[in-house]
Amino acid sequence: MSTARSLLPLALVAAALLTACGSADTLGRSAAVPGTDEMVGVGDDPRILVHDFNSAMEAMIVGELEYLPESGCLVINFRDEETGEITSSAAPVWPKNVAPLMEEERGGVSEPTVGPILDGDPVYAGGGSVSGGPTWEVDLSGECVPGGEYIVLTEDSFQAEPFDLSSP
């Protein structure tokens, strides 16, 4: 009988570990969560980069999300206001609270403040551009990081509508 009692706590610990290892959250995120000042890849299709950077960039980002189905990734395109032509593109680095999302063959993300942001949707957020080959080790193809450009988006900065620049 004492052997059975001593095995019971071991069985409970094993069951708890198996449950924890097998769980994923309801948004389909992998278990990969960045540590402070780190960036990791999350999801398969689309594959996104998420960060937990201490410093926040505060430039106003106004772009359009594009899903690249061949590569299974996302880029943000920036357009000339007058011509509407794409002037540059960058790989988005999302805050850690964002998860990859696929809806009706439109790749995108689920952002807690504004909800789904899918292929063709505008992106209004705070953030900043990083170029010149940061030393991050990322697992995205070259097509997913156009010209080596990244756009780091700041947590809690997303808006559903364009920025109102008329207010002081």
Q: What is the pLDDT of residue 91?
A: 93
Q: What is the largest CA-CA distance in the chain?
A: 82
Count of Cβ atoms closer than 10 Å to residue 28 Cβ:
14
pLDDT (tens digit per residue) in 17-45: 222 233 333 334 344 676 666 788 899 89
Local structure of 162: helix, strand or coil: coil
Residue 48: closest CA among 86, 101, 114, 123: 101
Cβ partners under 8 Å of residue 94, min gap 6: 48, 49, 50, 51, 109, 111, 153
Q: What is the pLDDT of residues 78-129, one digit of tens each?
A: 999 899 999 999 999 999 999 999 999 999 999 999 999 999 999 999 998 8
Q: Is the pLDDT of residue 132 over 80?
A: no
CA distance 95 to 34: 10
> What is the value of pTM for the model shown?
0.75
